[in-house]
């Protein structure tokens, strides 16, 4: 079986994004989400929150495609008693075809 974390069912999950400003998500939009697969492999949102906290990150920059992950990560920070860092969600960089630039695009100059 998978392992889930119990998320709050009432209230809001709020944070100030350094780029986008005040962000507010209804807690009932964040379900009891999976933090480890049935094979025991942890899920991204669980690992990244723990990694950021253990490394003492106070500021976290992520692509704006990860904005919807942030409430889940905040649930994890709070559940484990970690300080919640300041978040900055920055616009994605696109390749010449207009798709999200990724490491699969090879070594590409972005400047």
Residues assigned a catalytic role:
103
The greatest distance separating any two alpha carbons of the chain, rounded to the nearest whole angstrom, comes to: 46
Main-chain dihedrals φ then ψ at residue 25, nearest 5 degrees = -125, 135
The CA-atom distances, in angstroms, between 98 and each of 76, 80, 82 are 34, 39, 38
Distance in angstroms (rounded) separating the CA atoms of residues 16 and 23: 6
Query: What SS3 class is residue 30?
Result: coil
Tokens representing residue 63 in the block: 């692509």
């Amino acid at each position: 079986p998978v392992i889930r974390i119990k998320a709050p069912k009432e209230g809001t999950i709020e944070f100030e994004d350094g780029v986008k400003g005040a962000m507010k998500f209804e807690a009932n939009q964040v379900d009891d989400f999976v933090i480890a697969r049935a094979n025991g492999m942890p899920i991204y949102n669980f690992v990244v929150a723990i990694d950021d906290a253990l490394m003492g990150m106070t500021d976290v920059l992520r692509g704006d495609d990860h904005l919807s992950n942030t409430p889940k990560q905040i649930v994890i920070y709070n559940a484990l008693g970690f300080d919640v860092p300041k978040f900055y969600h920055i616009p994605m960089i696109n390749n010449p075809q207009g798709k999200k630039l990724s490491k699969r695009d090879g070594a590409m100059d972005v400047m």
